[in-house]
Amino acid sequence: MEVKDIIKEENLVYTKSKILTDKVFHYCPGCSHGVVHKLIAEVIEEMDIQEKTIAISPVGCSVLAYNYLAVDWQEAAHGRAPALATAVSRLMPDKYVFAYQGDGDLASIGTAEIIHACNRGENIVIIFINNGIYGMTGGQMAPTTLEGMPTSTSPYGRDVKLAGHPLKITDLIAQLPGTEYVTRQAVHTPAAVRKCKKAILKAFQNVGKKNGTQFIEVVSTCNSGWKLSPVKANEWMVENMFPVYPLGDLKG
Amino acid sequence: MAEYRLMKGNEVIAEAAIRCGCDGYFGYPITPQSEIMETLMLRKPWEETGMVVLQAESEIAAINMVYGGASCGKKVMTSSSSPGISLKQEGITYIAGAELPCLIVNVVRGGPGLGTIQPAQSDYFQAVKGGGHGDYHLIVLAPASVQEMNDFVALSFDLAFKYRNPVMILSDGVIGQMMEKVKLSEYKPRWTDAEIQKISGSWATTGKTPDRDYHIITSLDLDSAKQEIFNHKLIAKYKTISEKEVRYEKISCDDAEYILVAYGSSSRICQKAVDLCREKGIKVGLLRPITLFPYPTKIIQEMAKRVKGFLAVEMSAGQMVEDVRLAVNGKVPVEHYGRLGGMVPTPNDVVKALEEKLINVK
C-alpha cells in the first residue's frame, strides 16, 4: 500500500480548522494558548461565523494571536480589550465579538475594563487565559500567581503580606448580573480539551441570544515561566492551580 | 431652511455630532465639558439616527471604545477636559499608531494636576507635539466661536478619514461654556455598511469576507526595520497634511507693524485688542491659527520679513510662542503674554503687554 492509497476522504479522521492560518505558533511547546486558539478556530468554523467574527487580542504572549486565526482582529492596549469589544459589539450588534486576554491583562491592568464590560452585560465572549504569570515579559508575578509561587518578581515565592492574595477574578465576574455564562476550564487532557471546546461553543452560541456577557477562564500552563517541562507543568497545575481555581461552571 | 439657535459650545458639539452622521460617542464626565454627553443623552440620538452613546467607566475605557469603533470604519468620538485627556493619551497614541480616524474634543481647563475647572490653553504642547509616546501627530483644530464648535465636528471627521488620522478639537472652558448664536448644520445620514466598505473597506474590521484577506488593526511591529519604514510613512503623511491643511485667519494684518498671534478664546480677546490699538494709532494685526497642527509657519515667516514684532497671546505659561519663534527664526522679537490658572486676560491687558514687551522697549 502506498501513501496515495491512504490519503482518501473516507480515511480522514482529523484536519486542521480552516480558520487557523499556516503561520507557525510563536508559543513555547507545552503552552496552553495554541490549544485554546485551535478550539476557538474550530468553533468559528463549525458555527460558520468567520464573516461575523471580530476578535480583540491583548498585550501579553497572545498579542500576536491575530497571526493565527483568519478573522478580523483588533490589537488592544494592555488590559483594554473589553472596551474595544464593547464598542464593536454596540456599533455592529450582529457580530460575534470576542476578547482574548491573559491574567496580567485582564486581572491586573484591565480590572476596570473587564468588570464594567461584564457589569453592563456586553454581548461579547471573553476568553481568559490564567497561567498565574506574565509569560511575555519573562515570568513576573501576576495577580493570579499562587501564594508561595516563585516568579522573577517574587523570587522567594509570593508573600501575601507583601503582594496580596491570588485574585479569583472569575468568582467576582460570576457575581455580576450582566454575565450570563461564567465557567472555568482547562486544556491539559483530551477530556478537558473536549469540555473546554463545549464551553467555548456554548459561549459563542449564547452571543446570538444577547442575554449578557460570556466569560470563560482557562486555567493554563506556562511551562517556560514556571521552569517546568510541559508534562511536569500539567502535573503542577493539577496539584497547585486547581485547588485555588477549581474547574467547572460558576454560572449559566 | 437654515436653523439658528442660541447654544453653549459644548451643546453644539453634541448637536453637530448627531447631524454629521456620527456613529458613536464614548465619554466620561468632567468639568467643563459634561454638557456634551448630557446633551447627547437628552437627545437620545439612538432613536433618531442610530448613533450609539455610552458613558464609559473611565476616560481610558472611553478612548479605547473609540479605538474599537474606529477600527470598524465607524465615525466615532470622545470628549473630555485636560486631566481626562491626559488619561486618554495611551489610547490616542495607539489610535495614531494604528492609523485610525476619530475625533477627540478637549475643552481645556487649567493645570497641572487637577488644576482648576476654569478655562486655560495650557494643553497646547500635549495636543500639538504628541501627548502620548512615540513619533506621531494629531490634526489639531482650534475653534474660536460656538459656530466653529459646530463647523469643526464635520470638518474633523472629513480630515480624520481623509488621512486616517485622529483629529483633536482643542477648545477651552470659555468656548465650551459660552452661548452664542449658531447656524446648525444640515442633517447628514450615518454611513451605510456599503458606504463604509467603499470608504474604509480596505482596512476596517467589518468581518472577513471570502473576497479578501482578514484585516488586522494593530500598532505593533516587532521587526525594527519594518517599524522604521512605518515611522517614515507617518512622517510623509504629516508632511502632506502640513502642505495641504494649514488653516488660519488674518485680521488687519496688511499694514500691521505688530502681529498678535492667538488661537481659540484668546483670539477673540485679541480681536478687541486690535481695535483698541488701532484707536490709539498703533498698527496691530491678528493672526489666528485655526489649525495648530499643521501650524501656519509659512505665513508667519512671510510676515516676519516686514513687521516689527510678534506677541503670542495664550492662556498658558508660553507654549504656542515656541512655534512662533521657530517660524520667525530670530528675524524680529517674539514675546509672550498670558494669564494662568484659569484667569482670562482682558483686551486692555493685551494692549498693555504689547506696549511693554514690544513697542516701548529701548
Calculate the CA dihedral of residues B108, B113, B118, B121 and round it to 10 degrees: -40
Portion 76-95 of A in contact with B at CB < 8 A: 76-77, 80, 83-88, 90-92, 95
Q: Which residues from chain B sit within 8 angstroms of residue A70, using beta carbons?
A: 208, 214
How far is A26 from chain B, CA to nearest CA, in Å?
13
Domain tally, chain B: 2
Q: Name the closest residue on chain A to residue B77, using Cα atoms.
A: A87
The conformational region for residue A30 under phi > 0 = left, psi -120 to 50 = alpha, else beta, is left
Distance, in Å, from the CA atom of B286 to the CA atom of B302, rounded to the nearest integer, reads 14
A–B interface: beta-carbon pairs under 8 A = 123
Distance, in Å, from the CA atom of A106 to the CA atom of A177, rounded to the nearest integer, reads 19
Pairing relationship of beta strands B291-293 and B309-313 according to DSSP bridges: unpaired
- Work out whether the CA dihedral A81, B36, A210, B216 comes out positive or negative: negative
Q: Which of B22, B25, B53, B67 to mutate to test the interface with A (most CBs of A within 10 A)?
A: B67
Distance, in Å, from the CA atom of B239 to the CA atom of B262, rounded to the nearest integer, reads 24
Q: Are residues B56 and B182 in the same domain?
A: yes
Q: Are residues B164 and B280 in the same domain?
A: no
Mind listing the pLDDT tens digit for each residue in A187-206?
A: 999 999 999 999 999 999 99
Q: Are residues B62 and B168 in the same domain?
A: yes
Residues listed for chain B: 362
Q: Are residues B43 and B159 in the same domain?
A: yes
Per DSSP, helices labelled H in chain B are 9-19, 35-43, 45-48, 59-71, 82-97, 124-128, 146-163, 173-177, 193-200, 224-244, 264-279, 297-304, 321-328, 347-354
Q: Which residues from chain A sit within 8 angstroms of residue B75, using beta carbons?
A: none
Residue B57 forms part of a structural domain: yes
Determine which helix (DSSP H) or strand (DSSP E) holds B217, and give its type and residue range. Answer: strand B216-217
Distance, in Å, from the CA atom of B109 to the CA atom of B93, rounded to the nearest integer, reads 22
Portion 215-244 of A in contact with B at CB < 8 A: none
What are the contacts of A204-209 at 24+ separation with CB within 8 A? A204/A43, A204/A44, A204/A47, A204/A49, A204/A96, A204/A98, A204/A125, A205/A47, A206/A180, A206/A181, A206/A252, A207/A96, A207/A97, A207/A123, A207/A124, A207/A125, A208/A96
Of B98, B68, B205, B196, nearest to A51 (Cα)? B205
Residue A169 is which amino acid?
I
Mention every residue, 6+ apart, whose C-beta is less than 8 A from residue B125.
Answer: B319
Q: What is the pLDDT of residue A4?
A: 85
Q: What is the pLDDT of residue A238?
A: 98
> Strand order of the sheet with strand A179-186?
A248-251, A179-186, A213-219, A125-130, A96-102, A53-57, A72-75, B216-217
pTM over 0.90: yes
Are the beta carbons of A83 and B216 separated by less than 8 Å?
no
**DSSP state letter for A241:** I
Asked whether the beta carbons of A73 and B216 are under 8 A apart, the reply is yes
Mention every residue, 6+ apart, whose C-beta is less than 8 A from residue B270.
Answer: B260, B262, B286, B288, B313, B347, B350
Q: Are residues B26 and B118 in the same domain?
A: yes
Q: Which residues pair with A148 in a beta bridge?
A: none
Largest distance between two CA atoms of chain B: 75
Q: What is the DSSP string of A62-94?
A: GGGGGGTB-SEEEEPPTT-HHHHHHHHHHHSTT
For residue B147 the three cell numbers come to: 459656530
Q: Which residue has the cell 467607566?
A: B57
Task: Give CA separation, B316 vs B120, B121, B124, B125, in Å.
Answer: 7, 5, 8, 10
Average pLDDT of the residues in B252-280: 98
Distance, in Å, from the CA atom of B187 to the CA atom of A193, rounded to the nearest integer, reads 53
Phi and psi of B206, rounded to 5°? -110, 5
Residue percentage of chain B with pLDDT more than 90: 99
> In this model, does residue B255 exceed pLDDT 80?
yes
Residue B234 forms part of a structural domain: no
Mention every residue, 6+ apart, whose C-beta is less than 8 A from residue A115.
Answer: A172, A173, A176, B57
Residue B214 forms part of a structural domain: no
Distance, in Å, from the CA atom of A107 to the CA atom of A126, rounded to the nearest integer, reads 12
Q: Are residues B44 and B154 in the same domain?
A: yes
Average pLDDT of the residues in B135-161: 98
Range of the domain at A127: 3-251
Residue B288 is which amino acid?
R
Mind listing the pLDDT tens digit for each residue in B284-303?
A: 999 999 999 999 999 999 99
Residue B235 forms part of a structural domain: no
Residue percentage of chain B with pLDDT more than 70: 100
CATH of the domain at B135: 3.40.50.970
CB-based contact (8 Å) between B191 and chain A?
no
Q: What is the pLDDT of residue B294?
A: 98
For residue B211 the three cell numbers come to: 473576497
CB-based contact (8 Å) between A130 and chain B?
no
Are the beta carbons of A112 and B209 separated by less than 8 Å?
no
Asked whether the beta carbons of B212 and B43 are under 8 A apart, the reply is no
Q: Are residues B60 and B138 in the same domain?
A: yes
**DSSP state letter for B355:** I
Domain tally, chain A: 1
CB-based contact (8 Å) between A20 and chain B?
no
Predicted ipTM beyond 0.90 = yes
How far is B68 from chain A, CA to nearest CA, in Å?
4
Residue B29 forms part of a structural domain: yes
Average pLDDT of the residues in A175-182: 98
Average pLDDT of the residues in B338-345: 96
Mind listing the pLDDT tens digit for each residue in B205-238?
A: 999 999 999 999 999 999 999 999 999 999 999 9
Q: Are residues B31 and B163 in the same domain?
A: yes
Average pLDDT of the residues in A36-64: 98
Mention every residue, 6+ apart, whose C-beta is less than 8 A from residue B198.
Answer: none
- Considering only CB atoms, B67 lies closest to which of A84, A91, A116, namely A84
Asked whether the beta carbons of B343 and B300 are under 8 A apart, the reply is no
Residue B181 forms part of a structural domain: yes
* Alpha carbon B244 to its chain's center: 17
CATH of the domain at A98: 3.40.50.970
For helices B9-19 and B146-163, give the axis angle rounded to 10 degrees: 40
User: Mean pLDDT in chain B?
Assistant: 98
CB-based contact (8 Å) between A63 and chain B?
yes
Domain's final residue, options B168, B193, B218: B193
- Considering only CB atoms, B65 lies closest to which of A53, A87, A115, namely A87
Average pLDDT of the residues in B22-51: 98
Mention every residue, 6+ apart, whose C-beta is less than 8 A from residue A37.
Answer: A20, A25, A65, A68, A69
CB-based contact (8 Å) between B91 and chain A?
yes
Distance, in Å, from the CA atom of B350 to the CA atom of B266, rounded to the nearest integer, reads 10
Average pLDDT of the residues in B167-182: 98
Q: Which of A86, A96, A101, A115 to mutate to test the interface with B (most CBs of B within 10 A)?
A: A86
Distance, in Å, from the CA atom of A128 to the CA atom of A86, rounded to the nearest integer, reads 16
Average pLDDT of the residues in B111-120: 96
How far is B147 from chain A, CA to nearest CA, in Å?
29
Mention every residue, 6+ apart, whose C-beta is less than 8 A from residue B283.
Answer: B255, B256, B257, B258, B277
**DSSP state letter for A154:** B
Residue B236 forms part of a structural domain: no
Range of the domain at B74: 3-193
> In this model, does residue B362 exceed pLDDT 80?
no
CA neighbours within 13 Å on the CB side: how many for A67?
15
> In this model, does residue A7 exceed pLDDT 90?
no
CATH of the domain at B300: 3.40.50.920
Q: Which residues from chain A sit within 8 angstroms of residue B209, using beta carbons?
A: 51
Of B120, B49, B44, nearest to B85 (Cα)? B120
Q: Are residues B156 and B9 in the same domain?
A: yes
Q: Which residues pair with B291 in a beta bridge?
A: B141
Of B66, B172, B170, nearest to B126 (Cα)? B170
